[in-house]
Chain A
Amino acid sequence: MSAIEHLSGPDDLEDDEREAVETLLYRLADDEFVIAERYTEWQVRSPTLESDLALSNIAQDELGHARLWYDLLEDFGYTEAELLWERDPEDFRHSTMVELPFETGDWADAIVRSYLYDEAEALRLEALEDSSYPRIVDRVGKVLGEETYHREHATNWLERLAGTDDGREQVQNAVDRVFPHALTLFEPVDPDVERQIDEYGIRTRSLDELATDWLDRVVPFLESQGIETPVSNSSEVTTADLPDVRGRDGTHTDEWFDLYDEFTHTYRELGRDRADRIMSDPDDA
C-alpha cells in the first residue's frame, strides 16, 4: 500500500474521516464488550476452578480493550451512557457471533468461539498497527500484548477437546453452529464507509483480505484437529454461508436484545442518567 497520510486528531477531522474512524471504533469496541458479557456468564460455571479463572481473566481483558476503544469514541464527545447504557440496542455494530447465548454447559462452544474470535482479533489488530489515525496506533500494542494468552488458551483447549471422540463431536457441533456467525466478523457496517476506512488508511487490510487471512488460518487448523468447517469456499466469505442476521449492519438475533436488557437492567432500575468512573482515563494511566 502506498504511503498513507496521517489523519488529524479527533477535533480536526473532516466529516467523512470522522465517520470512518467512528465506524471502525464501534466495530472494535462493541465486539469486545459483548463477547466479554457472554464470557462472564461462565463465571462459577466453568468445568474447573482453573478454567473459570482463565476465562474470567480473558473477559476482563476484553472489557479493558472495549474501554480503550470506547474512550476514543468519547474523544468525539460521546459519554459512556450514550455509548453503552442508553444506546439503542439496534445501533450496536458487533458481529452476531459474540452475542449468541451459550447452551448450558457447552464449554466446547466457549472455546470454539474464543478461538475463532481471537484469531480474527489478532489479524485485525495487526491491520491497525500502522493505522493513519494516531490515537488508534497508540493503543494497539497494549491490546495485542494480551491477545497472545487468549489464543494460547483457546488453542490448547481445542487440541485437548478434539483429542477424544466425545470432545471432538462437541467441538464439531459448536463449529457448525457458530462458524457462519464468525464470518460476520468480516462483514461491513456500511460498504461505502468500510471502503473509506481502507482508503484513509485507518485499517491497512480490507475486510475481504482479513477474511481470507483468517480462513487461511482457522480452516487448516480445525481440519488438523479432525474438525470440518461449514464453508463452501475456504478462502473467501460466500454470501450463502452467512447467517440472515449479521450484527454489523444492525440486524441481530433476538438473544441480543435479551442480553442488552440484562446488562442495562441495573442502570435502568437505579434510574441512572450517567455512568460513574472508578478508573483513571486510559490517556492518564
Chain B
Amino acid sequence: MIWEVFRQEKSGGYHTHCGNVHAPDAQMAKLFAEVQHGRRKPTNSLWVVPQQEVAEVDAEEANFGGTTDKSYRWAMTYNRVDESFAEEVADSQREQETADRERDEVTAGGNR
C-alpha cells in the first residue's frame, strides 16, 4: 500500500507533498515517513495519506479557468500602474490622521 507524504516545515505553514512510502498501515507509514522525509530537511509535521484516498481531477476532464477569455482574472493591470499616485495616498492619509488628532484635542479640551 502506498502512502503519500506531505511535509510542513514550520508550524502554521502548508503541508507540501514531498513523496511517498510503502507501508501496510498508517502507523508504519508514519514511522517510515519520519526517516525518509523528515530527517534531512527542517520538519515540523508530516501527513501520510493513503494514495487511493486522494481524489483527482485533471486537465483532460476539466477546463481549468474556463474556455473564454478571462484574462481580467489575472489582475495583471496593476503591474502597469504609475506608482507615483501612492504619494498622494500617503499625503491624504497623513492629513486625515492630523485632523483626527486635532479633533481629539478639541474634544478633550471641551470636556475640561
Name A residues whose Cβ lies closer than 8 Å to a Cβ of B.
48-51, 53-54, 57, 149, 152-153, 156, 160
Taken together as a complex, chains A and B put the C-alpha atoms of A153 and B21 apart, in Å, by 15
Contact status of A53 and B32, CB under 8 A, knowing A48-B22, A160-B24: yes
Residue A149 contacts which of B22, B27, B34, B36 (CB distance < 8 angstroms)? B34
B49 within 8 Å of A (CB atoms): no
* Residue in chain A with minimal CB distance to B21: A50
| A48 contact set on B, CB distance < 8 A | 22
Distance in angstroms between the alpha carbons of A65 and B21 in the assembled complex: 27
Are the C-beta atoms of B28 and A156 separated by less than 8 Å? Answer: yes
The residues of A that contact B27 with a CB separation of less than 8 Å are: 156
Residues of B within 8 A of A49 (CB): 22
Q: Are B32 and A160 in contact (CB under 8 A)?
A: no
Verify A57–B35 contact, CB threshold 8 A.
Answer: yes
By the criterion CB–CB under 8 Å, are B36 and A50 in contact?
yes
Give Cα A160–Cα B28 distance, bound, in whole angstroms.
Answer: 10
Taking A57-B39, A156-B28 as contacts, is the C-beta distance between A50 and B34 under 8 angstroms?
Answer: no
Bound complex: CA A22 to CA B22 (Å): 44
Give the docked Cα–Cα distance between A49 and B23 (Å).
Answer: 10
- A238 to B32: give the CA distance in the assembly, Å: 38
B31 CB–A CB distance under 8 Å? yes
Query: In the complex the two chains form, what is the Cα distance from A53 to B35 in whole Å?
Result: 7
A73 CA to B28 CA in the complex, in Å?
37
With known contacts A156-B28, A160-B28, A54–B35 Cβ distance under 8 A: yes
Nearest A residue to B34, CB-CB: A149
Seed contacts A152-B31, A156-B27; 11 additional CB < 8 Å A-B pairs = A48-B22, A50-B21, A50-B23, A50-B32, A50-B36, A53-B35, A54-B32, A54-B35, A57-B35, A149-B31, A156-B31
Contact with A along B26-44 (1 / 0, CB 8 A): 0110011011100100000
Give the complex CA separation of A160 and B26 in angstroms: 13
B26 nearest CB across to chain A (Å): 11
* Residues of A close to B31: CB separation below 8 A: 54, 149, 152-153, 156
Closest 3 A/B residue pairs (Cβ): A50-B32, A57-B35, A54-B35
Chain A residues within an 8 Å CB radius of B34: 149
Let me know if B22 and A50 touch, CB within 8 A: yes
- Minimum distance in angstroms from B56 CB to a CB of chain A: 24
Q: Report the minimal beta-carbon distance from B30 to chain A, rounded to whole angstroms.
A: 9
How far is the CB of B58 from the nearest CB of chain A, in Å? Answer: 28
A48 and B35 alpha carbons, distance in the complex (Å): 14
A111 to B: closest C-beta gap in Å: 12
Q: Nearest Cβ distance between residue B31 and chain A, in whole angstroms? A: 6
In the complex, what distance in Å separates the CA atom of A54 from the CA atom of B35?
A: 6
Determine the chain A residues whose CB is within 8 A of the CB of B39 once the complex forms.
57
A residues less than 8 Å from B32 (CB atoms): 50-51, 53-54
A–B pairs, 8, beta carbons within 8 Å: A48-B22, A51-B32, A53-B32, A54-B31, A54-B35, A149-B31, A152-B31, A153-B31
Best-buried of A50, A51, A149, A152 by chain B (most CB within 10 Å): A50
Nearest residue, chain B, Cβ from A159: B27
CA of A50 to CA of B24, assembled, Å? 11
Q: How far is the CA of A160 from the CA of B31 in the complex (A)?
A: 14
